[in-house]
Structure 1
Amino acid sequence: MIVQMKRQEFDSLADEALFNACFKPLILDYKSRMAKENSSMVKELFYKELSTGQKALFVFHMYYDHAIESKAEFYWWSAYFIAQPKIWSAIKTGLQYFREEPMYILLEETELVLKRYNCPNTLEKFAVTREDLDSNRELSASINSLYVDFNKTAPLTIKELSDFIRYNYENFVKIED
């Protein structure tokens, strides 16, 4: 599941392009497997087959792709992943792996805010809706502030992850000369 590319292409990719290029084979394989059988066992097997770096990239990219869309999406997907402690922990552990402290701290703050507003810690009790922000001004203001910070921090996080990939490419990319 490691992306293959020529040295010239690898060296010329901008940060977000490299971030996406290393994620693409992972998500394509994941979606292919899930199309055949959508089960937690298939998800766990897929995840176990990834290197530590790929795991960190995969879980953060999954979160980022959804959370960046809007304040409501940031709120809902954060709550959704917090309700799945293994996934939320993997996202934060991945950020630590990349030594990406600012985003890690932001996710910790997001978790504290959501828990203050009774965010469920399992999917069994999950009843969070995007419309919650319309009916709770305090929650909406807190999430708005976090989402603004997320938008400021995300490009820096992508740069840090891309720099990490450049210096540890063998975990993410097979260079073809």
Structure 2
Amino acid sequence: MIRVKMSFAEFRTLDKQSISWQCVQPLTMQVRGQNFEVKQALVDQLNEAQLSTFMFYVYHNHIGSAAELYWFTQYYISDIKAWPAIKAGVRFYSDQVMSDLLEEAEGIVVQRNQKEDGSWCEAKPSDLEQDEGLSRAIQAVYDKYVTVSPRLIETMNAYVSQHLNEFIELV
């Protein structure tokens, strides 16, 4: 298990409103730009709570618009195959509303871009400009996501605060 190392003084300054992010942010920086093997080696060392938090933020930090939700959802499903871990992370925190929302996003992307043979059409932000139905569906999911994600983050923050030893090593 990898835990974020910090001094007691650093620990005391942690913002309780973003403690879950602060506990995985150093890990994301460690693997940013690295190859798959390096990323997988890190992921393999995380406990379930860390992995759940890490995977949520890997997705969440890329979702700043409906177009990004569309593109990154497909990317995590079809390209790097991380979608099951993202969904499992949300289930770890027992957030059924967010789980349903991710399933809805997946359904839209799969219906639109997965071919009968299981291969994928490329997802492009311009898809939303060219397909009004897709644009409306993805925008509706994104609007819900913006509303629902803060509640999941609050749940993660509360969990981390109650289980610090799973995330932080005081040095």
TM over 0.5: yes
Aligned to 1:13: 15
**TM-score, length of structure 2 as denominator length:** 0.86
Q: 1:111 aligns with which of 106, 111, 127?
A: 106
Query: Deviation digits for residues 107-165 of structure 1, max 9, x if unmatched?
Result: 011111212213469xx745111110000000000001000000000110100111111
- CA-atom RMSD, angstroms? 2.5
Q: Does 1:41 align with 2:37?
A: yes
- Residue aligned with 1:15, SS: coil
Q: Structure 1 residues 140 and 52 mapped into 2: Cα distance closer, same or farther (>3 Å)? A: same
Aligned to 2:58: 62
CA distance, structure 1, for counterparts of residue 146 and residue 42 of structure 2 = 29
Aligned to 1:75: 70
Percent identical pairs in the alignment equals 25
Q: What letter corresponds to residue 140 of structure 1 in structure 2?
A: S
- Residue aligned with 2:169, SS: strand
- Residue aligned with 2:46, SS: coil
- Whether the aligned pair in 1 keeps the contact of 2:74 and 2:109 (CA below 8 Å) is yes
Aligned residues: 169
- Whether the aligned pair in 2 keeps the contact of 1:7 and 1:175 (CA below 8 Å) is no
- Whether the aligned pair in 2 keeps the contact of 1:5 and 1:173 (CA below 8 Å) is no
Aligned to 2:129: 134
- Whether the aligned pair in 1 keeps the contact of 2:55 and 2:89 (CA below 8 Å) is yes
Q: Does 1:28 align with 2:29?
A: yes
- Whether the aligned pair in 2 keeps the contact of 1:2 and 1:25 (CA below 8 Å) is no
Shift of 1:84: 4.2
Misfit runs of 4+, over 6 Å: none
Q: Structure 1 residues 8 and 28 mapped into 2: Cα distance closer, same or farther (>3 Å)? A: closer
- Residue aligned with 1:174, SS: strand
